[in-house]
Amino acid sequence: MALLPKLLRTKQIDHLQHEAKQETGFVKALGPWQLIFLGIGAIIGTGIFVLTGTTAAQHTGPALVLSFTISGIGCLFAGLCYAEYAAMIPTAGSAYTYAYATLGEFFAWIIGWDLILEYLFASATVAVGWSGYAVKFLHNFGLNVPPALCSSPLVFHQGQWSQSGALFNLPAVLVCLAVTALLVIGIRESTNFNNAIVIIKLSVIVLFILCGSAYINTHNWVPFIPENTGHFGEYGWSGILAGAGVIFFAYIGFDAVSTAAQESRNPQRDMPKGILGSLLICTVLYILVSLVLTGIVPFRELAVPAPVALAIDRTGEGLRWLGPLVQLGAIAGLSSVILVMMMGQPRIFFSMAKDGLLPKGFAKLHPKFGTPHITTVITGVMAALMAGVLPIGVLGELVSIGTLLAFTIVCLSILVLRKTRPGIDRPFRCPGLPWVPLAGAFVCLAQMFALPLDTWLRLVVWLALGLAIYFFYGIRHSRLNPVKLKP
């Protein structure tokens, strides 16, 4: 069989839909609100509690709200494409399966490997952020974690690696392992935990918006778009675009909803609600928080690890009571992000293994809990190792570029499928073709090109490793290979 036809062979949509209806061993425990809460759990975390301040200080000024709007619109376009696919092909494979049905096996492998990069590194990135807030929270009660046990032993600055003197980030490792244990136990227990902490962090955010709005000084919004310094990305409209690329990390996670399709009770109806509902709720909250934040604190002073806590401090005694609640909300928020990211990763492994592109053991489900326990443990251990030794900046940039590439492929593949299979049943249809998918791809690509060259080089290395695995194992064991009859 020639190589090119192998690379471009696709899975039939009808076959995928038939597979989705069969008994898989997954527990169908998720309704529309559980899916929306999964999306909110994955989206609201590092972006709102950490990146808002540094982005406003270094790139956008008060125009941070415009960066959130641009990034949100790009995600909305991609989300509409995801919603069409998730309703049409309700399987655990997310964008990997969508690419397999439209662009072919080779592109499916690339996007599957890319999703591994997104979910695995996102879990590690957020675990490092969780560690910072947890250490501060414990400090309030007189419990001090030694710096050598709560920092990365490696530092990356101006293209150079160096040692920090720390041993490893112990809290980040522990939270990864704890979440892994919870995910092995079961999807119902995991989503109940996620629902509880989503309620906590939403309550804290709404309290900050409502109470903080009384302390806004509108003079802090002037000029709303600071004049560019002469360097691309430092204020002005180029700063707004660069800021959108940076805070895109804040929106990562709505696609994780699609990985839970086979655990949804009515995926054709509820998957679009989960994806689009969580995205819209989080976009509104991001915009309101950015307005309050830059209204309380002059934007140049926001380059701190905990900008929301700084804004509360600036109100004096008025909102002092809210400080500990914000720290608790941040810890809860980051916990739910880790949980949903680490939930999505094993389900991508599961789908790839069922297709023969990864070893069969990756597709095994626990006989009692109905979860992909082997790949969950592998994911948890790998995330814990990376969170323990790598700095947050390197991890975060890799997550952003991986996700942007995945979103771009999903947007473009919708156009391919509408052309090749126009008559197939679509419970949800992405509106505005071809402009919505093209706009989604354009916004995602523009943000990719705003990322540093070093990040692109790491993406190339990651993809090269993935291609080596595919050509040495995946292409040989694919279930789409012709069956060889024994003589």
Residue 39: both structure tokens together: 């999306």
Amino acid type, 464: A
For the cut 70, the answer to whether the pLDDT of residue 412 exceeds it is: yes
Are 40 and 121 in contact by the 8 Å Cβ rule? The answer is: no
What pLDDT is recorded for position 129? Answer: 78
Burial 199-231 (b: 16+ CB within 10 A, else e): ebbbebbebbbebbeebeeeebbeeeebeeeee
The answer to whether 305 and 393 are in contact (CB under 8 A) is no
Q: Which residue has the tokens 């994955």?
A: 42
Tell me the backbone φ, ψ of residue 93, rounded to 5 degrees.
-80, -10
* C-alpha–C-alpha distance, residues 418 and 411, integer Å: 11
Mean pLDDT to the nearest integer, 212-226 = 92
Name which residue leads in pLDDT, 360 or 14.
Answer: 360
Mean pLDDT is lowest, of 54-63, 65-74, 154-163, 305-314, for: 154-163
Range ranked top by mean pLDDT from 47-61, 219-233, 471-485: 219-233
CA–CA dist 486, 62 (Å, integer): 70
**C-alpha–C-alpha distance, residues 46 and 55, integer Å:** 12
**Which three-class secondary structure string do you get for 384-412?**
HHHHHHCCHHHHHHHHHHHHHHHHHHHHH
Instruction: With cut-offs at 50, 70 and 90, classify the pLDDT of residue 62.
Output: very high
Report for 44-58, 378-392, 441-455: range of highest mean pLDDT: 378-392
Higher pLDDT, 37 or 42: 37
For the chain, the domains span 27-477
Task: Note the pLDDT of residue 188.
Answer: 67
Alpha helix (H) residue ranges in 1-43:
3-8, 13-21, 32-43
pLDDT at 487: 40
Interval 75-96 mean pLDDT: 80
For residue 486, the model assigns a pLDDT of 41
Say what percent of the chain tops pLDDT 70: 89
- Using DSSP's 3-state secondary structure scheme, residue 160 falls into strand
Domain 27-477 belongs to what topology? Amino acid/polyamine transporter I (1.20.1740)
Instruction: Quick: pLDDT tens for 182-205.
Output: 888 866 667 777 788 888 888 889
Query: Residue 24 pLDDT more than 80?
Result: no
**Token pair in block for residue 107:** 């592109």
Residue 302 confidence (pLDDT): 87
**Cβ neighbours for 369, distance < 8 A, ≥ 6 positions apart:** 184, 185, 186
Distance between CA atoms of residues 101 and 141, nearest Å: 54
Q: Answer for the pair 427, 88: CB distance below 8 angstroms, yes or no.
A: yes
301: pLDDT strictly greater than 70: yes
Buried b (16+ CB within 10 A) or exposed e, 96-123: bbbbbbbbbbbbbbbbbbbbbbbbbbbb
Tokens of 25: 């061993």
Report the alpha-carbon distance of residue 212 to residue 204 in Å, rounded. Answer: 11
Q: Does 98 score more than 90 pLDDT?
A: no
Supply the pLDDT for residue 52. Answer: 83
Phi/psi of residue 169, nearest 5 degrees: -95, 90
Angle at 92 between CA 126 and CA 175, to 5 degrees: 25
Q: Higher-confidence residue: 49 or 445? A: 445
The DSSP H or E segment spanning 154 is: strand 154-157
Kindly state the percentage of the chain with pLDDT values over 90. Answer: 16
pLDDT band at residue 396 using 50, 70 and 90 as cut-offs: low
| The Cα angle at residue 287 between residues 284 and 289, in degrees rounded to 5 | 105
Backbone phi, then psi, for 391, in 5-degree steps?
-75, 155
DSSP 192-223: HHHHHHHHHHHHHHHHHHHHHGGG--GGGGSS
Q: Which amino acid is at 169?
A: N
CB-CB contact of 237 with 225 (8 Å)? yes
Per-residue pLDDT of 130-177, as tens digits, reads 887 788 788 878 888 888 888 778 776 656 676 777 788 899 999 999
Question: Does 254 have pLDDT greater than 80?
Answer: no
Backbone angles phi, psi at 160, to 5 degrees: -125, 140
Confidence of residue 484 (pLDDT cuts 50, 70, 90): very low
Those residues whose C-beta lies under 8 Å from the C-beta of residue 470, and which sit 6 or more positions away, are: 106, 109, 113, 357
Q: Which two tokens stand for residue 330?
A: 């941040």
Return the pLDDT at 288. Answer: 93
pLDDT-based confidence at residue 485 (cuts at 50, 70, 90): very low
Checking if the pLDDT of 469 tops 90, the result is yes
C-beta separation of 373 from 417 below 8 A: no
Please give the mean pLDDT across all residues of the chain.
Answer: 82
Q: Measure the N-to-C terminal CA separation of the chain; round to a whole number of Å.
A: 20
pLDDT for the residue numbered 177: 93
How is residue 226 written in tokens? 């600071």
The mean pLDDT of 402-422, rounded to a whole number, is 84
Question: Mean pLDDT throughout 269-286?
Answer: 87
Model confidence at 294, pLDDT cuts 50, 70, 90, reads very high
Tokens of 198: 């989503």
